[in-house]
Amino acid sequence: MAQTSTTPRAPQRAEWTGQLGFIVSAIGSAVGLGNIWRFPGVAYENGGGAFLIPYIVALLTAGIPILFLDYAIGHRFRGSAPLAMRRLAGKLGEGIGWFQVMICVFIAIYYAAVLAWASSYFVFSFDLKWGGDATGFFTGDYLQVSASPFTLDFVPAVLIPLVLMWVVALVVLGAGVVKGVQRLNMIAIPLLIVGFVALVVRALFLPGAIDGLNALFTPDFSALLNPGVWVAAYSQIFFSLSVAFGIMMTYSSYRKRRSNLTAPGLVVAFANSSFEILAGIGVFATLGFFAFQQGVAVDQLEGLSGVGLAFMTFPAIASEMPGGQAFGALFFGALVLAGLTSMISIMEVILAGVMDKFALTRKQAVYGLGGVLAVISIVLFGTSSGLTALDTIDNWANNIGIVASAVVMTITVLWIRRAGTELSGHLSTLSTFKVGRVWIFLVSVLGPIVLGYMLVATIWGLVNEPYGGYDTGYLLLVGWGSVAVMIIASVLLTLSPWRYNPDRFTPWPPVPGERPVGFTHNSEGGKR
Amino acid sequence: MTPIAVVFLSIALVVIWGGLIGSAIFLSRQTEVAQYPAGGEEAFHDPLGN
């Protein structure tokens, strides 16, 4: 039983320099492309001003509680998603952790592509290179979208920025949690805020901006009776806040043991939502201007969200306004900053997972595994067939992958492992904002019910209607196929051996309701 | 802006931005709990270097 000095040890875990470093980095992770291009359109289409009601309810009843759950697991069990979940819930937990890692693998591969497009368009802004037909420019001249679903025709204008984005991401990650990730966030996030506020202020002075704001904020109360609107609100909060796919768990695992968890978490959650509201104001003020220029009403416009909003509608609008070059540069610059800090966090989940399990050094993980992912991303998206793949994988990874991960995680942690008391005790002992039975109820009952409903509704919808009108065989291979690959890979990764024993760990602090790590497979140990 | 849109814009700002300001003030007034349980200092390592 003696602990000998020859017990093998991994190098000390990385740590943020303090609370501020963690908060800014977590905000950097949460604030991403979706805050800018998803929220405004979703709000507009789901009741406008009335959407705020389900949105705020979703934030308080699911977003913040599950964020706290992620923090509690990552911080208490001091590991990446597979490691922390393994310590908490054995091999089942580890499998869930790897599934979250695999979601991040798929997302990272296409996220870099969008970042690349945004960086290209940042450069294009200076002479409004997209010309008079922004839509045609994007799909035709820039992406050179092919009719066939898979090609190896590389498009240099996309390839070069894509390689560049991967180089930047890998260099930042290779420099470490503090010198790379934290430092990038401490520079990028203030810059993002200043730039974006400037953009919004500019937009508010455009003619027609007020009509845009009216369009967004006028409530349609009948929307509140539509369950789809509530699903949309919960979905938006969920994806926007980056919960339940390993990011917040990994980031909180880098905090020192004696840390306030919930109060910073509230700041992160409200900062994320604040940015979305700001984006909503900016985007719709701009759309209002566009409607005014075109002589139509806002509700007659198209391309109000997503890739279309960013790369077709906004460029067209920038061409119409005085100072459009600066406007475009601010907009695409913001997309790059928001996207890069999010991409870094997605990659960190993957790297931390393999570093913890296989005892790779950071440099090995970043340049080895990271390099492989970069190559896959470049081959898939540096060519003329990228857009369809991106759209498909994004839909399955998010709406099936992340939601399923959240349902399985909450059920496993709160019902199978019954860790609610232990985790709420952990949070409350260390934090200034206490959580108790209400929190446990929200994460163990309300969360799984709402998420389960969302998952079933989504699967039902996808089975009945081919997504995006794409070929069903393609969707089966690329969409469902992605999920199948995630599951298979999770199983294989769980079955492979750990370099160091993950169960030799004692959580701190001792709290009521806790169970020793390795509890679920005590039959091997004889510790009882 | 129409009055009703102004109302809902205001709700958004007060609740969400107000939440941000409020939680930031709450955090800055007391950044940490008054007393941590014993232990948990950084010299505490396990085989995975945690």
Residue A401 CB burial class (10 angstroms; 0-12, 13-18, ≥19): buried
Tell me how close the Cα of A308 comes to any Cα of chain B, in angstroms: 25
% chain A with pLDDT above 90: 73
Q: What is the pLDDT of residue A93?
A: 96
Residues whose CB falls within 8 Å of the CB of residue A35, separated by 6 or more in sequence, listed in order: A240, A272, A275, A276, A279, A338
Query: Helix, strand or coil for residue A219?
Result: strand
Three-class SS of residue A526?
A: coil
- A10 vs B15: CB contact, 8 Å cut-off? no
pLDDT in tens, A301-347: 888 888 889 999 999 999 999 999 999 999 999 999 999 999 999 99
Dist CA A521 CA A519 (whole Å):
6
Residue with tokens 């198209």: A302
B2 vs A: CB within 8 A = yes
Task: Read off the tokens for B4.
Answer: 């009703």
Q: Which two tokens stand for residue A167?
A: 């180089």
Residue numbers in B near A48 (CB within 8 A) = 8
A9/B42 CB distance under 8 A: no
Query: What is residue A461's predicted lDDT score, i.e. its pLDDT?
Result: 84
The stretch A126-147 carries a mean pLDDT of 85
This prediction's pTM: 0.93
| Sign of the dihedral through C-alpha A148, A153, A157, A158 | positive
Residue B4, chain A, CB below 8 Å: the answer is yes
List the single residue in A7, A270, A281 with the smallest CB-CB distance to B19. Answer: A270
Q: In chain A, which residues have their Cβ closer than 8 Å to the Cβ of B17?
A: 270, 274, 277
The alpha helices in A39-80, defined as continuous H runs, are 39-45, 52-58, 64-77
Return the pLDDT at A467. Answer: 76
* Sequence-distant (≥ 6) Cβ neighbours of residue A387 within 8 angstroms: A139, A143, A145, A307
Gap from A393 CA to chain B (nearest CA, Å): 32
pLDDT score for B42: 63
Instruction: Find the residue in B nearest to A277 (Cα).
Output: B12
pLDDT at B50: 52
Q: Tell me which residue in B37, B47, B50 faces A509 most closely, judged by beta carbons.
A: B37
Query: Any idea which residue has 């498909």 for tokens?
Result: A392
Q: Is the peptide bond before A54 cis (omega within 30 degrees of 0)?
A: no
Contact B27 A273 (CB under 8 A): no
What are the tens digits of pLDDT across the range A44-66?
999 999 999 999 999 999 999 99
- Looking at residue A425, its pLDDT comes to 96
Q: What ipTM was assigned to the predicted interfaces of this complex?
A: 0.90
| Residue A524 pLDDT level (bands cut at 50, 70, 90) | very low
Q: What's the pLDDT band for A464 if we cut at 50, 70, 90?
A: confident
For A428, nearest residue in chain B (alpha carbons): B33
User: Is the torsion defined by CA of A468, A471, A472, A478 positive or negative?
Assistant: negative
> SS3 letters for A165-212?
HHHHHHHHHHCCHHHHHHHHHHHHHHHHHHHHHHHHHHHHCCCCHHHH
pLDDT in tens, A80-90: 999 999 999 99
Q: Count the Cβ atoms, other than its own, within 10 Å of residue A35.
A: 27
Share of chain A above pLDDT 70, in %: 95
* A377 closest CA partner among A55, A63, A116: A116
Helix axes A81-125, A481-495, angle to 10 degrees: 140
What's the pLDDT at A23? 97
B46 interface with A at CB cutoff 8 Å: yes
CB contact under 8 A, A257 and B41: yes
Residue written as token pair 């196929």: A481
The reply to whether A154 touches chain B by the CB within 8 Å rule is: no
Q: pLDDT (tens digit, 9 = 90+) per residue, A8-43?
A: 666 788 999 999 999 999 999 999 999 999 999 999
Angle, to 10 degrees, between the axis of helix A403-411 and the axis of helix A447-464? 140
Q: Which residues of chain B does A7 touch, with a Cβ-Cβ cutoff of 8 Å?
A: 47
> Averaged over A218-222, what is the pLDDT?
94
Smallest Cβ–Cβ distance between A10 and the set B20, B32, B48 belongs to B48
Contacts within 8 Å (CB) and 24+ apart, A180-185: A180/A344, A181/A25, A181/A344, A181/A345, A181/A348, A182/A16, A182/A17, A182/A21, A182/A24, A182/A25, A184/A28, A184/A340, A184/A341, A184/A344, A185/A21, A185/A24, A185/A25, A185/A27, A185/A28, A185/A341, A185/A344
Measured in Å, how far apart are chain A's first and last C-alpha atoms?
14
pLDDT in tens, A344-394: 999 999 999 999 999 999 999 999 999 999 999 998 888 776 677 777 788
Q: Which residues of B touch A12 (CB under 8 A)?
A: 45, 49-50
**How much is the average pLDDT of A146-164?**
80
The per-residue pLDDT for A469 is: 72
Is A470's pLDDT higher than 80? no
> pLDDT tens-digit profile of A93-114?
999 999 999 999 999 998 999 9
Mean pLDDT of chain A: 90
